[in-house]
Structure 1
């Protein structure tokens, strides 16, 4: 049965012995030397503690590997900030652009509506003007033929209505007045 040289623990199987040796006090499976070996000089740290050359070398390797990673992290952080700024500005620009497009669309629809309405109003005014002229001609013809016409209903209607525009109706009123006289 193999026994651990560090603690003296015996192990029935070689596998358990090897596992124990790796976990044991020194962890390297070698017998501690009773002879004084040549000690390697320890490096002093600024805080007064000392490191072995192996630890110093590991620290130098880690530091040399860590520096490019930190540089890359700083660059990526700057890139992320730039992307966030761009996204914020881009979002604002997209909203502004969408609002401008909506406004242009609304303006175009209002312009189209006003044009259609103006066409209809102009058409109605032209038809009304034509009908007023025809009606005036009819009333003049009736007046010239000396036919008696009861104009009381016309006078009642005129008194109930407020006339806002008199341009086309002036001719009609003159004809009605002529009819009455």
Structure 2
């Protein structure tokens, strides 16, 4: 690890299994917006492995430059400069996109922000485009594991607006915004990869 470069062990652990799914979803050339780029490890791994895509990193205005050391070191031609993106903004200042990827964001956003993310994603995708959302999710109000229940409790202790989201709620807001669940993949460490399509 280069000194001064931010690092996420979770990204290292899950980047390859996520890539295997993304490579089957984002088949056609186009631009994929990453919401919540964080350290940039995912961006570098995915863009390096999927050269037919242009990867557009973004993150909250106070965090969006965190990924720059990773992007600079990789120096890949198909990664754009990171953009500041507040999902709650009335309009997103982003280029035209053909897909969206976001990892481990829904549980650290407030529910209002999750709703805003789905609205914004749907507004910028066209029919058939995909939104891939990775993270832990609940089903029918139930946790899928004891570790997820403990994780949820720790999140809510940090900030009561955070927490693992339930699939029933996500399906509802997706449907309201013209997004349909195409796939729900079981991933390591009690996570899922949800693939929503614009209908």
| TM, length-normalised to structure 2 | 0.18
Structure with greater contact order relative to length (CA < 8 Å, sep ≥ 6)? 2
| TM, length-normalised to structure 1 | 0.19
Between Structure 1 and Structure 2, the one with more helix by share is 1
